């Protein structure tokens, strides 16, 4: 679907999209930006007050509503001084709090949900013409997001959705009720999008899904995800493939084999643990136990020795005892995570866990959280030190080294997704998206350092694409008509290549 230009009055208007939450929201924001640019809006310059401000919200993170209304209140006096300013609120919090947003913030012009991001330009125009707030929340997906125009932030790396929604019922999570049941795209549609991205200069894609390795459940192929990974290995010019986030309950050996045997599938895996206590996992409705989780880690490491495994962990779930917490620490010690996203549990209205008895006191949660973070950082540091002396090929990154200017370094990502800050010596003219080889000289808990001169530079099509972007006055948008998920069994994926 391509949205037509709203009106000539919108052609000179500027926009800003503010994103909160997960990778799915980041990807949705690329679609929102593409829609607005396709409708004639221009991205506001840094420091410029945009004519349209869009909040793409999250309902999972702590105090999400307080953060939203706090940010909205900062715009209230600007809106009062300039009635032409339009404010839109979308995403998961909009889907959940549809009835209250315009009550709490009556100056908001548009409220839209997770299932109808494609309606944003029309809703903005309708609100402008009718001079009243427009609230449109759909209960199910009408247009798969990948059919919408996109404004990608990166010239060299891209998100590619394989599915939306989730069929799990974790008691701490509200995502299924906000994004709906899982809907899978056809394999051919996904591969067509990846091939189109590669033709534009992209050399790294991340396959994205709320439960990415459950891909295929809708059309009855339990090995669809591993077949998709292998098919990505057949796409010429695609150098790096990643995916996030899988679920341990559905993580099968055929996926491990596909990762190990497909050269462009990177040796990195994000595997959410949430808790190491079987009792807590049961209360969370996580349909696996610690033994199964550790078995997956063991098999991945056996097949891919240099794999970097990361995770998510929640501390202080209702009823968690000190013994339960110690079980989590035990799994962390055994798993040797390269890093972990750690969270202090807090009630999320609308989730079953919010009504569970034995809520843990904030003081206990904070103490356990501190001990967990200390252990995670200690292990991450030890794992990072194992890379000292290794030669790694990095994809040069843009904006990932906040201190690069003062340290005279550049930054890039290793195949296992570790962040590496490397010397600019020998890297003259290198561009984001180019590849460099470096020798790791030092390690820190959250990154690696390569202080010797760069060993090798490989200029890439991605670097060319990044360089071409710098000369554009208007960022590129792209519309790929890939359609809604079809009914019935899809065409089979290409035959898997021989083991590499």
pLDDT tens profile 353-404: 988 889 999 999 999 999 999 999 999 999 999 999 999 999 999 988 877 7
pLDDT at 11: 52
For residues 248 and 379, membership in a common domain is answered with: yes
- In angstroms, the Cα distances linking 132 to 73, 193, 215, 409, 468 are 19, 38, 41, 51, 42
Given 85, 113, 136, the domain boundary residue is 136
pLDDT at 283: 96
Binding residue positions for [4Fe-4S] cluster: 22, 58, 92, 166, 170, 173
- The β-bridge relationship of strands 86-91 and 110-112 is parallel
Contacts of 40 (CB under 8 A, 6+ apart): 5, 6, 7, 10, 11, 13
| Residue 73 belongs to a domain | yes
pLDDT at 364: 96
For residues 353 and 241, membership in a common domain is answered with: yes
**What CATH number corresponds to the domain at position 432?**
2.40.50
For residues 291 and 423, membership in a common domain is answered with: no
- Label residues 275-312 b or e (16+ Cβ within 10 Å = b): bbbbebbebbebebbbeebbebbeebbeebeebbbbbe
| Residue 478 belongs to a domain | no
For residues 456 and 332, membership in a common domain is answered with: no
Given 112, 136, 160, the domain boundary residue is 136
| Residue 163 belongs to a domain | yes
C-alpha angle 266-267-270 in degrees, rounded to nearest 5: 100
Number of domains in the chain: 3
| Residue 334 belongs to a domain | yes
**According to DSSP H, which parts of 336-447 are helical?**
362-385, 404-407
pLDDT by residue, tens only, the chain of 500 residues: 344 444 444 457 999 999 887 777 787 888 888 889 888 899 998 889 999 999 998 876 656 677 888 889 999 999 999 999 999 998 888 888 877 888 899 999 999 888 788 889 889 998 898 888 998 887 666 555 555 566 777 899 998 989 888 888 899 887 766 777 888 989 999 999 999 999 999 999 999 888 899 999 888 899 999 999 999 999 999 999 999 989 999 999 999 999 999 999 999 999 999 999 999 999 999 999 999 999 999 999 999 999 999 999 999 999 999 999 999 999 999 999 999 999 999 887 778 898 888 999 999 999 999 999 999 999 999 999 999 999 999 999 998 887 777 888 999 999 999 999 999 999 999 999 999 999 999 999 999 999 999 999 999 999 999 999 887 544 444 433 333 333 333 344 444 333 33
Closest by CA position to 348, among listed 124, 172, 164, 105: 172
Q: Report the SS3 class of residue 99.
A: coil
For residues 380 and 401, membership in a common domain is answered with: no
pLDDT at 407: 81
For residues 192 and 89, membership in a common domain is answered with: no
| Residue 481 belongs to a domain | no
Given 385, 419, 451, the domain boundary residue is 385
pLDDT at 96: 82
pLDDT at 498: 34
**What CATH number corresponds to the domain at position 188?**
3.80.30.20
pLDDT at 150: 66
| Residue 492 belongs to a domain | no
DSSP structure string for 205-244: EEEE-TTGGGTTTTTT-TTHHHHHHHHHTTSTT--EEEEE
- What is the Cα–Cα distance from 64 to 20, expressed in whole angstroms? 9
For residues 100 and 45, membership in a common domain is answered with: yes
Q: Pseudo-torsion of CA 95, 96, 97, 98, nearest 10°?
A: 30
pLDDT at 411: 96
- In angstroms, the Cα distances linking 368 to 294, 323, 329, 342 are 22, 12, 10, 11
Helix axes 322-335, 362-385, angle to 10 degrees: 10
pLDDT at 473: 42
Instruction: For residue 488, count CB atoms less than 10 angstroms from its CB and return exposed for 0-12, middle for 13-18, buried for 19 or more.
Output: exposed
- pTM across the whole model: 0.77
Instruction: Kindly report the length of the chain.
Output: 500
pLDDT in tens, 61-111: 656 677 888 889 999 999 999 999 999 998 888 888 877 888 899 999 999
| Residue 428 belongs to a domain | yes
For residues 266 and 290, membership in a common domain is answered with: yes
For residues 320 and 364, membership in a common domain is answered with: yes
**What CATH number corresponds to the domain at position 14?**
3.40.50.12160
For residues 191 and 332, membership in a common domain is answered with: yes
For residues 152 and 252, membership in a common domain is answered with: yes
Binding residue positions: 22, 58, 92, 166, 170, 173
pLDDT at 119: 85
Range of the domain at 60: 8-136
Q: Which residues pair with 419 in a beta bridge?
A: 413
| Residue 476 belongs to a domain | no
For residues 279 and 303, membership in a common domain is answered with: yes
- What is the Cα–Cα distance from 435 to 458, expressed in whole angstroms? 5
């Amino acid at each position: 679907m391509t949205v037509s230009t709203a009106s000539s009055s919108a052609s000179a208007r500027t926009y800003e999209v503010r994103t909160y939450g997960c990778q799915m929201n980041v990807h949705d924001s690329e679609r929102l930006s593409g829609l607005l640019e396709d409708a004639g809006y221009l991205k506001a310059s840094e420091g410029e007050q945009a004519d349209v401000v869009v909040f793409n919200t999250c309902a999972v993170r702590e105090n999400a509503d307080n953060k939203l209304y706090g940010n909205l209140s900062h715009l209230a006096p600007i809106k009062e001084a300039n009635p032409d300013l339009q404010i839109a609120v979308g995403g998961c919090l909009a889907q959940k709090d549809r009835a209250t947003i315009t009550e709490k913030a009556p100056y908001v012009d548009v409220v839209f949900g997770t299932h109808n991001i494609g309606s944003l330009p029309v809703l903005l125009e309708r609100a402008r013409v009718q001079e009243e707030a427009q609230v449109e929340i759909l209960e199910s997906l009408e247009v798969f997001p990948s059919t919408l125009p996109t404004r990608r932030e990166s010239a060299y790396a891209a998100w590619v959705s394989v599915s939306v929604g989730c069929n799990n019922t974790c008691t701490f999570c509200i995502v299924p009720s906000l994004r709906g049941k899982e809907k899978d795209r056809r394999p051919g549609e996904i591969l067509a999008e990846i091939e189109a991205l590669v033709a534009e200069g992209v050399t790294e894609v991340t396959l994205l899904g709320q439960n990415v390795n459950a891909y295929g459940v809708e059309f009855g192929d339990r090995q669809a995800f591993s077949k998709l990974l292998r098919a990505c290995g057949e796409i010429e010019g695609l150098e790096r493939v990643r995916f996030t986030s899988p679920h341990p309950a559905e993580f099968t050996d055929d996926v491990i084999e596909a990762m190990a045997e497909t050269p462009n599938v990177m040796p990195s895996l994000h595997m959410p643990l949430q808790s190491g206590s079987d009792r807590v996992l049961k209360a969370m409705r996580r349909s696996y136990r610690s033994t199964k989780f550790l078995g997956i880690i063991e098999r991945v490491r056996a097949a891919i020795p240099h794999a970097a495994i990361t995770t998510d962990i929640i501390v202080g779930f209702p009823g968690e005892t000190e013994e339960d917490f110690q079980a989590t620490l035990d799994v962390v010690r055994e798993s040797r995570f390269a890093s972990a996203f750690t969270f202090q549990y807090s009630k999320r209205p609308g989730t079953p866990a919010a009504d569970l008895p034995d809520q843990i006191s904030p003081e206990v949660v904070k103490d356990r959280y501190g001990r967990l973070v200390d252990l995670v950082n200690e292990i991450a540091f030890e794992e990072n030190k194992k890379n000292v002396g290794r030669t790694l090929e990095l994809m040069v990154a843009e904006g990932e080294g906040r201190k690069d200017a003062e340290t005279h370094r550049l930054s890039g990502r290793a195949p296992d997704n570790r962040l590496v800050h490397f010397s600019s010596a020998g890297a003259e003219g290198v561009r984001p998206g180019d590849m460099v080889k470096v020798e790791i000289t030092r390690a820190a808990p959250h990154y690696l350092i390569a202080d010797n001169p760069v060993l090798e530079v490989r200029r890439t099509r991605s670097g060319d694409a990044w360089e071409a972007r710098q000369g554009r006055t208007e960022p590129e948008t792209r519309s790929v008509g890939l359609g809604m998920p079809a009914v019935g069994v899809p065409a089979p994926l290409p035959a898997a290549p021989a083991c590499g």
